[in-house]
Amino acid sequence: MTAGTRKLFGTDGIRGIAGEFPLDPGTVYAVGLALGHSLKKKEPRPRVLLGRDTRESSPWIGATLAEALRQAGAKVESAGVVPTPAVAFLARAHGFNAGVVISASHNPWNDNGIKLFGGDGFKLPDALELAMEEEILFHAAKGIEVDVKTLPRLEDKPALQSDYIQFLRTSLPNLSLGAMKLVVDCANGAASAIAPELFRRLNRDGRAKVTLLNVTPDGRNINANCGALHPNVVAAEVKERKANMGITFDGDADRCMLAGSRGNVINGDAILLMAGRDLKARGLLTGDLVVATTMSNMGLEAALKRSGIRMLRAPVGDRYVLEEMQKHKAALGGEQSGHILLPHLATTGDGMLTALMILELIGRTGKSIDELTADLKVFPQVIVNIKVREKKPLAAIPAVATAIHAAENELQDTGRVVIRYSGTEPLARVMIEAENSEAMKRHADAIAAAIRNELGV
């Protein structure tokens, strides 16, 4: 089943503008009921863990979900403000039957979302989400009235945050920051609640200098000109402060981007290259294989090939990368956006774990990230986002199909054309990479114009 056959769930849960369908109070309540009823089929008194990011709407959405879950017979606990991967880890480690994350990841503050994890720490299967959709829409159609102002707010358990920090530390026990100078951008998001204490504990001897940016969330400044969507911010700070490296997270800290000492951005492709080569050198890269996505640069594929590593491409979305990894028993996969999957350490992408893995690699090898990625030749790439009013099959629209065909005919083996809809936003994405920058931009503009004329808002 594809995301297109679902009305509520995209590639990363339910997402939209907080207060509007499907994130109006009545529908959110219906989500809680559906999840609770689904869990009760296997467990008489299921336990559910909630976690949230720093958005203004996250507390009332959490309270609404909790009330509905209790009504459905579930026991609810809250980890408070934590990254998405923290909920996945804590649900598994503490024997919860499910974990729920209230976050819209990299989206603006007025958006929000609901992501669901099973007790095994993995995102719920498509089939289960589809079955829940039917109940959610059934309840929502009845017009559930919810006064969020009267709902009891959740009591957070700080010990759960501490457990997650301890997990991060023990996952890479040999990591030492030494005398490194780091700049860390927390995007005024979930990382703000974890990074200060995490890096304090990691800096055991006090020799490292860690500068934390954007750690004062106010409910509306999450991802605002900061974080993984704006990696140049931390890159500029690294250069200005003469730091060794920069780290930047998105709103829910399930992915990260890095910056080198020259103020250069290091994206997920470069992280996959560093990690892939290191795992191969230590005999840990199963089948000498890395799973990336259709958006990963041709330069990554070429660099991995020089190291004797194959690269498979999955559709965009970490759930699809994970499916491909499980199919091939791969030890490493991820996305250009910095969402990296390390199944020997975690069940889902974890930006903080990714950053610590690279820090450990640097400490162990004595090489900087610039040295470790020096031979990565990135093909010119352009991505154009077009806001659309509906998501019709693009290949079925003659003007769009003609523009795509023209690009593929001219570029052939010297470039790639990837056109897709976002799984989390009302956007069509046009990505072209090619040796010839002029042809790349010309075709990207032509395809984007065709989509805009047919489907644009």
- Decide: 298 and 336 in contact? Cβ < 8 Å: no
Provide the token pair at 195. 């990074």
| Sheet of strand 289-293: strand arrangement | 310-314, 289-293, 333-334, 340-341
**All residues at 6 or more sequence positions from 91 whose CB lies less than 8 Å from its CB, including other chains:** 49, 98, 99, 117, 118, 119, 121
CA distance 241 to 369: 17
| Given the residues 38, 58, 78, 105, the one annotated as active site | 105
Number of residues assigned to the chain: 457
Other C-beta atoms lying within 10 Å of the C-beta of residue 207: 11
Q: Where are the alpha helices (DSSP H) in 194-257?
A: 195-202, 231-241
Q: How far apart are the first and last CA of the chain?
A: 28
**Nearest C-alpha neighbor of 359 from the set 347, 372, 376:** 372
**What is the Cα–Cα distance from 307 to 276, expressed in whole angstroms?**
9
**64-103 as b/e: b if 16+ CB within 10 A:** bbbbbbeebebebbbbbbbbbbbbbbbbbeeebbbbbbbb
Give the integer Cα–Cα distance in Å for 234 and 187: 10
Euclidean distance between CA atoms 440 and 179, whole angstroms: 43
Please confirm, yes or no, whether 58 is among the known catalytic residues: no
Comparing CA positions, the residue from 84, 106, 95 lying closest to residue 188 is: 106
Hey, which residues are catalytic here? 105
